[in-house]
Amino acid sequence: GAVVSQHPSRVICKSGTSVKIECRSLDFQATTMFWYRQFPKQSLMLMATSNEGSKATYEQGVEKDKFLINHASLTLSTLTVTSAHPEDSSFYICSARVTLQRGIQETQYFGPGTRLLVL
Amino acid sequence: DAKTTQPNSMESNEEEPVHLPCNHSTISGTDYIHWYRQLPSQGPEYVIHGLTSNVNNRMASLAIAEDRKSSTLILHRATLRDAAVYYCILRDNYGQNFVFGPGTRLSVLP
């Protein structure tokens, strides 16, 4: 299946600093990528939808000025957590939508996740 | 997107088949049934998806009821590495993101 990578896999930062997380589609082009957040013992919650070359669409309750998303190319989307605070500590997961060659069915592939700990 | 209902947890013995059910009584005609699983501290992993016919791949089989109001993910021989949270998700071909429910936490006993 298609491969999606994330970097870094783990990051620890001080409160008030900014952290950038990269999401790459390694063997396909993704016009649409998604960013999720997952707190312990909970399911994934969609934060925003990232479209290449345009502004991201944020879910209700997600601060767009705090979680900056850039999708500058068909293989790279970045999520920057600005002025991070301890409550931002979470598991951040990106995914990319794939259109299979048959052009009928499509699915999404997910990155391995980035665990953020804000002290 | 239509809602799905799954048991919170299930247990299986190693090397035995596992049948993970999913109810989706409000499924629409264009909704595909997708299954993902998430191992601890990892991103979700694609397992299988289908529309109407049963589907098989190297990981699992997907049995879809004739009325499409339910489906079952079948792991033919559970291994310890299959212990994960399994998510059943509906989405049509033109839908945006996947909406994750709580899923089924599968425990595999040695």
pLDDT value, residue B35: 95
Taking CB atoms and an 8 Å limit, are B44 and A46 in contact across chains?
no
Residues of chain B positioned with their CB less than 8 A from the CB of A109: 46
Q: Tell me the pLDDT tens digit for each residue of B83-105.
A: 999 999 988 766 667 788 899 99
Q: Which of B63, B51, B20, B57 is nearest to A106 (CA)?
A: B51
Q: Tell me the pLDDT tens digit for each residue of B32-58.
A: 899 999 999 999 999 999 999 999 999
Residues of chain A positioned with their CB less than 8 A from the CB of B98: 34, 95, 108
Residue matched to tokens 């079952």: B72
Dihedral of CA B94/A7/A89/A111: which sign? Answer: positive
* B60 CA: distance to closest CA in chain A (Å): 15
Taking CB atoms and an 8 Å limit, are A6 and B34 in contact across chains?
no
pLDDT value, residue A105: 47
pLDDT value, residue A106: 66
Map A46-69 to HEC letters.
Answer: EEEEEECCCCCEECCCCCCCCEEE
Q: Tell me the pLDDT tens digit for each residue of A4-17.
A: 999 999 999 999 99
> In angstroms, how far is CA A33 from the centroid of its own chain?
7
Taking CB atoms and an 8 Å limit, are A34 and B97 in contact across chains?
yes
Q: Residue range B60-89: average pLDDT?
A: 96
| A101 — pLDDT class (breaks 50, 70, 90) | low
Q: Which of A37, A44, A100, A108 to mutate: most B Cβ within 10 Å?
A: A44
Q: Tell me the pLDDT tens digit for each residue of A34-76.
A: 999 999 989 999 999 988 888 899 999 999 999 999 988 889 9
| B25 — pLDDT class (breaks 50, 70, 90) | very high
| A99 — pLDDT class (breaks 50, 70, 90) | low
Q: Does A1 touch chain B (CB under 8 A)?
A: yes
